[in-house]
């Protein structure tokens, strides 16, 4: 648990939903307690993945698993795009 006054230098979350919830928790713990902080969305830096392609490939893998449960599944790489927003900045020292 992060204590008041101990702002983390980096926050990495597995998805944007968790990131928004983590930022909200930090704000509620007293970080940058600006009045608009709870009403304004945080412009998160994120990694954009091709959702439709990921869904299509997951469905295809499920069909293949159903056809032949013993067959090992391969791996697939999908292109992702870095989207930099205001939540990224230089690391603060001290």
Q: Is residue 93 part of a domain?
A: no
Higher pLDDT, 28 or 18: 18
Beta-carbon count within 10 A of 26 CB: 19
d(C-alpha 94, C-alpha 82), whole Å:
28
Return phi, psi of residue 18, to 5°. Answer: -65, -35
Residues 77 and 50 in one domain: yes
Please name every residue paired with 46 in a beta bridge, in sequence order, or none if there are none: 83
What is the per-residue pLDDT across 43-88, written as a single tens digit (0 to 9) for each?
778 888 888 998 999 899 999 999 999 988 888 889 988 888 877 7
Q: Is the pTM of this model over 0.75?
A: no
Res. 37 pLDDT band, cuts 50 70 90: very low
Predicted local confidence at residue 24, as pLDDT: 78
Q: 56 and 82: one domain?
A: yes
Is residue 2, in this structure, part of any structural domain at all? Answer: no
94 token code pair: 């001290």
> What's the rounded Cα separation, in Å, for the pair 46 and 25?
19
Tokens for 28, please give them.
């509620």
Q: Residue 64 sits in which domain range?
A: 44-87
Same domain, residue pair 35 and 49: no
Q: Of 92 and 35, which is predicted with more confidence?
A: 92
Q: Are residues 26 and 48 in the same domain?
A: no
């Amino acid at each position: 648990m992060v204590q008041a006054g101990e702002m983390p230098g980096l926050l990495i979350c597995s998805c944007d939903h968790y990131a928004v919830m983590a930022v909200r928790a930090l704000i509620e713990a007293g970080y940058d307690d600006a009045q608009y902080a709870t009403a304004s969305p945080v412009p998160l830096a994120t990694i954009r993945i091709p959702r439709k392609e990921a869904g299509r490939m997951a469905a295809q893998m499920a069909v293949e698993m159903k056809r032949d449960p013993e067959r090992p599944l391969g791996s697939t790489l999908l292109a992702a795009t870095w989207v930099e927003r205001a939540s990224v900045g230089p690391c603060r020292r001290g």
